[in-house]
Chains A and B, each alone.
Chain A
Amino acid sequence: MSATRIDCDICIVGGGPAGLSAALAAAKAGATVHLLDLFERPGGQYFMQPAAGAHGPARRQIAAGGRLIAAARAAGVTVHENAEVFGAYADPVIYARVGESALTLRPKAVVIATGAHDRVAPFPGWTLPGVMTPGAGQRLAKLHGTLPGRRVVLAGCGPFLMVVAGQLRAAGCDVLRVVEATPSPRALLAGIARHPARWGEALRLLTPVAPLAGRFRFGAVVTAAAGDDHVRSVTIARLGADGLPDERARETIADVDALLVGHGFRPSIEVPRLLGCAIDFDQDAGGHHLRIDRATGATSVPGIFAAGEVTGVAGARPALAAGTIAGLAAARHAGFAAGKGDERALARALDFALMLRRAYRVPYRALGRLPRPETVLCRCEEIDAATVAAAHADGARDAAGIKLWTRAGMGPCQGRGCGFGLGLQLAETAGLDPAAFGANPSRFPARPVPLSVVADALAAGEDGA
């Protein structure tokens, strides 16, 4: 048996901006804080820490993240790397796997800062090698110095595309096209103009992509990728006034060796759902996200707090401010005298995030129309659109019904990858409401984990263990 049991004040799940700031704030208030992070080094997608340290196009961000991690450690936070949280009960108790060992935490309060994952929608050719998410492409470049390809097309929706475009260009990729679904950058530029405090940041974002200006295609979507054993060409189409791709306004981009496509992020709600935390649905905030009290980060479950993208996708700045608020509230819950954090700073950061959200228009209708009958919607179980349509014709009307009758969402990812696309396709082809369509509810374990580790972790968590 190989299990470590830790009784502590506060457990933070996730080591991105929200989790790190929550950990720092709680530790400064005097609490013993343990932070669990999935990766080799904390930082999350935003503060990702390459082994080589802070250089390259993202060096400012890497350095800022490094300082936050160092501050948290200096304040006494224990960071557990490579810790995959697979279970959580409202005792509260958190179960994680670290390699082949079990790690069980019995804290007084929990801060959920699990972040978000890339939001993808299926289209013909999306399962070809060389097609990946912008987040995955950025991870390759930032962490490993590997280019996702030499001749790259970036597509989707949101400011993150520009960030990745600039970084990939700086890393030496030939960025052939940046295909942004939003009709024009006017709303974005006008929004930035209203926030002078963010002009410096905007300039740092826009400068690296300025040389790519001629390669942007606004108001368009990728309708297909093609290639034999690898993506070779990408077809894009302009969006018509009805929000659907105009097949007459098509362009095919040849000699492509990587297509990075994503439409924002989905909050990673699996672990807090195990705890029973209530969720809300807002497609523009990533879909299902945790419901919290913004003043404290409190979820619907006593002792469970949350901050960052898992409470609705808004970016790193609000996550940092909300993390501090949630960390302090968790410390107060654990019995420490702690302040309340700067709610006005959070409000300002959220204000800017909301402007960004409104400046972009995710082409939900178009995405729901892209799959052809033979297009795979669920990659784990290889379920195509025709199979899903047949289940709908037989009376399946929600995520649970589609899953039971087709196996879509029953594989290792448990619907994390395919849920967005399934919902869009059924909204568009069958008129189902994406909110009512629902999500595949997460159940223990939140991710696949060896039986021996499950048994060790649960045994270690028992009272008197």
Chain B
Amino acid sequence: MGVSGHIVVAGAGITGAATALALTEAGFAVTLLDRAAAGSAVSGASLACLGTHMSSEIELPQLIWATRRWAEWDRRFAGAFHYRRCGQIRFIEHEADIPVAEHWIALERAAGLTPELLTRERLRRVEPALTGPLVAASWSPTDALVNPFLAVRCLISAAVAAGARFRSHCPVEAIDVAGGRVTGVVTPGGRIAADAVVVTGGPWTAELVAPLGVALPILPRKAQCLATIRQPVTIRGVVGGCKSDHGGVDAGYTQIQQSEAGQILFNTVLAGGLAEAGAQGHVPEVDRRFVLDSIDTLTRLFPALRAVELLRSWVRYEAVTPDDRFIVGAVGPAGLLVAAGDNGTGFCRAPVIGEVIAAALSGRPCAIDSAPYDPGRFPAAGAT
């Protein structure tokens, strides 16, 4: 595309923060805006697992690139966001799921990664408190966790130090277009001129670009989580459920981990939680069915935690696309780009998104294959 000048990035979650940093380092003048506090939407609710395991077969090369970039950032920013290479377990409750795990392990090992299948005995050494009724587990030792709040703050601060401007509580209300080109954004504080606008607004993205004739297939879906009060170190790594064809918890999604502050964070999602367009504007209380399912799974896997006190719940909205992949690139009028569709696993992918956008706007080759994120796979998105 080869744009020069001033770029507005609308949305300061982890995707927007990584995008703003990549664009600033590519030499653009960047203004990063958020409707509220930075990272206060789904990024702040994220369990921030940086993993390659059992995530996406199609995106495995991109995930490997992303996890390496995160490790580089950890060194570059001197541990500012508390990167921990704690590993990830996917627990297996049925013998029939072992071949599923073996399938993922084989394809990840072929890509140079080191996951393996753990027997119950080895599992006990890797995650001693995980004493629930399991038949086996898969184990990916290179997967990591970061503090999601500090990761957003660190990338924004790095972008600002390199010359970007950041404003919170400054919602983009509309995107101005003249002569088929984006010319700026409208905010309550006034108009901001721009040569290009990148919308990194998660579930708010679709409604922001809709007036420009761009129809993005992005819907909000509830992302809910629970936290206990702080505990002594009990859970060492990320504990998730193995992908499975079974019903019950196996058909849903579970993630359990202990924060560096000691709180145990956990969620089990059995029902879909997909919401109407626009639902992201109001954060409701947590679903009671979700609370019951999550406590049930946690205490089945970690029976010793039954008496632990629940501290807090939170609900945000993740942005869901039909094929579970981000939509990243130019759409609609010249100078308009989008980067949204986290599907609940966006945190890890943020460096990839930043690179794809920076390459597109600089007109240089991208360091990674951006095809999985091509907006053109949804014709109504009006890819340019």
Contact = CB atoms under 8 A, between A and B. Distances in A.
A448 B229 contact: yes
Interface in B282-297: 285-286, 288, 291-292, 295-296
B292 A443 contact: no
Interface string B161-179: 0000011110000000000
Contacts of A404: 37-40, 44, 149, 152-153
Q: A276, A407, A445 — which one has the most chain B CB atoms within 10 A of its CB? A: A445
A89 B149 contact: no
Interface stretch (A236-244, A318-326, A394-402, A416-424): A394-402
Interface stretch (B95-103, B128-136, B184-192, B300-308): B300-308
A451 B308 contact: yes
Interface stretch (A225-233, A290-298, A453-461): A453-461
A160 interface: no
A274 B169 contact: no
A398 B309 contact: no
Contact of A458 (B160, B288, B307): B288
B307 A395 contact: no
A458 B309 contact: no
A9 to B, nearest CB: 23
Contact of B261 (A391, A400, A407, A461): A407
B216 to A, nearest CB: 27
A445 B313 contact: yes
Contacts of A459: 292
B157 interface: yes
Interface in A388-446: 391, 394-398, 400-401, 404-405, 407, 410, 412, 414, 443-445
A200 interface: no
Given A274-B285, A400-B40, A454-B291, A444 B261 contact: no
Contacts of B169: 397-398
A107 B295 CA distance: 26
Given A89-B285, A394-B157, A401 B310 contact: no
A196 interface: no
Contacts of B296: 455
Nearest to A275: B285
B310 to A, nearest CB: 5
Interface string B15-40: 00000000000000000000011111
B234 interface: no
Q: What is the size category of the interface that chain A forms with chain B?
A: 20 to 34
Interface centre among A394, A398, A451, A454 (most CB of B within 10 A): A451
Contacts of B275: none
B149 A445 contact: no
Interface in B112-146: none
A407 B167 CA distance: 21
A412 B263 CA distance: 11
B311 A400 contact: no
Contacts of A214: none
A450 B150 contact: no
Contacts of B149: 404-405
A98 interface: no
Given A395-B168, A396-B168, A450 B37 contact: no
The winner among A391, A395, A396, A458 for most chain B CB atoms within 10 A is A395
A455 B308 contact: no
Given A400-B40, A443-B285, A451 B313 contact: no
Given A404-B37, A443-B286, A458 B313 contact: no
Given A395-B166, A405-B149, A454 B40 contact: no
A401 B40 contact: yes
A119 B155 CA distance: 36
B228 interface: yes
B65 interface: no
Contacts of B313: 443-445
B17 to A, nearest CB: 11
B37 A451 contact: no
Given A405-B150, A405-B153, A407-B261, A449 B37 contact: no
Contact of B309 (A443, A451, A462): A451
A274 B261 CA distance: 25
Nearest to A97: B309
B298 A451 contact: yes
A391 B312 CA distance: 23
B156 A394 contact: yes
Given A401-B168, A451-B306, A412 B292 contact: no
Contacts of A89: 285, 288
A184 interface: no
A405 B228 CA distance: 20
Given A394-B157, A401-B38, A458-B292, A450 B308 contact: yes
Contacts of A235: none
A452 interface: yes
B362 interface: no
Given A401-B37, A450-B307, A455-B296, A443 B157 contact: no
Given A394-B153, A400-B37, A455-B295, A445 B285 contact: no
Contacts of B291: 444, 454-455, 458
B373 interface: no
Given A395-B38, A395-B168, A451-B308, A444 B150 contact: no
Given A398-B169, A414-B312, A443-B314, A451 B150 contact: no
Contacts of B321: none
Contacts of A443: 285-286, 312-315
Contacts of A449: 309-310
Contacts of A394: 153, 156-157, 160
A414 B149 CA distance: 17
A458 B286 CA distance: 12
B312 A396 contact: no
Contacts of A401: 36-38, 40, 168
Given A396-B168, A404-B37, A451 B288 contact: no
Contacts of B156: 394-395
Interface in B258-290: 261, 285-286, 288
Nearest to A93: B288
A445 B37 contact: no
A452 to B, nearest CB: 5
Contacts of B311: 412, 414, 445, 448
Contact of A451 (B40, B44, B153, B299): B299
A454 B310 contact: yes
Given A405-B153, A448-B311, A400 B36 contact: yes
B149 to A, nearest CB: 4
A457 B166 CA distance: 45
B292 A450 contact: no
A455 B166 CA distance: 43
Interface string B36-71: 111110001000000000000000000000000000
A444 B294 CA distance: 14
7 contacts: A381-B261, A400-B36, A412-B311, A443-B315, A448-B229, A450-B310, A459-B292
Interface of B: 36-40, 44, 149-150, 152-153, 156-157, 160, 166-169, 228-229, 261, 285-286, 288, 291-292, 295-296, 298-299, 305-315
Given A395-B38, A400-B36, A445-B312, 11 more contacts: A400-B40, A400-B44, A404-B38, A404-B152, A405-B149, A405-B153, A443-B312, A443-B314, A445-B310, A445-B311, A454-B310
What 3 A-B pairs are tightest by C-beta distance, nearest first? A401-B37, A448-B309, A404-B149
